Amino acid sequence: MLNEPAKDGVLNRSINDLRVLLIEDDDFTRRLMSRLLQDLKVRHVWEASDGVSALAILRDHPEKVDLAICDLEMPRMSGLDLLHALRTATGNPLADLPVIVLTAHREADTVKRAIAYGISGYLVKPVSKADLVKRLAFVLQKGR
């Protein structure tokens, strides 16, 4: 996907510009999602196996992550706990970081809890390339 000029003459960002933090505890799913993102030619994919590792990456490289794709159920720190930490920390420069939730859950309560933290999208496992492209495009359209 190439950058296309916007109506106001400013270049729109494309999927190729994104620097994504992928947070998933299951090795197979993390490798699969990473491969899908690489196939889409995202600029960079950071990987974390839980919320604690994700927070360390975000703390060390806050300006280098444009979007997080985060599983909800993980050891040490769940996706909901990570969202809570991102959204409620005073003075957190990443409070508005777009987050796409990745989960096997379809329960309304789980979805509502994630939405309450201002997620940018929701992907249900197994994730298709087409669904991933739709969510990434929506985040790009919405902006930060």
Which residue, chain included where needed, has tokens 């799913």?
Answer: 29
pLDDT band at 3 (very low <50, low <70, confident <90, very high): very low
| 24 burial type by CB count under 10 A (0-12 exposed, 13-18 middle, 19+ buried) | buried
Do 8 and 44 touch, CB atoms closer than 8 A?
Answer: no
Q: What is the mean pLDDT of the chain?
A: 87
Segment 31-63, tens digit of pLDDT = 999 999 999 999 999 999 999 999 999 999 888
> Could you report the per-residue pLDDT of 56-75, keeping only the tens digit for each?
999 998 889 999 999 998 99
Going along the chain from its start, the domains and CATH numbers come out as 16-142 (3.40.50.2300)
Between CA 97 and CA 102 the distance in angstroms is 15
Residue 50: exposure state from Cβ atoms within 10 A (0-12, 13-18, ≥19): buried
Residue 126 and residue 89 in contact, taking contact as beta carbons nearer than 8 Å: no
Q: Give residue 120's identity as a one-letter amino acid code.
A: S
At 144, list the tokens.
């930060």
How do 121-124 and 99-103 pair as beta strands? parallel
Alpha helices (H) along the chain = 27-39, 51-60, 79-88, 108-116, 129-142
pLDDT score, position 89: 79
Contact 33, 127 (CB under 8 A): yes
**Nearest alpha-carbon partner for 4 in 143, 144, 141:** 141
If one compares 142 and 52, the residue with the highest pLDDT of the two is 52
pLDDT in tens, 80-115: 999 999 998 777 888 899 999 998 876 778 778 888
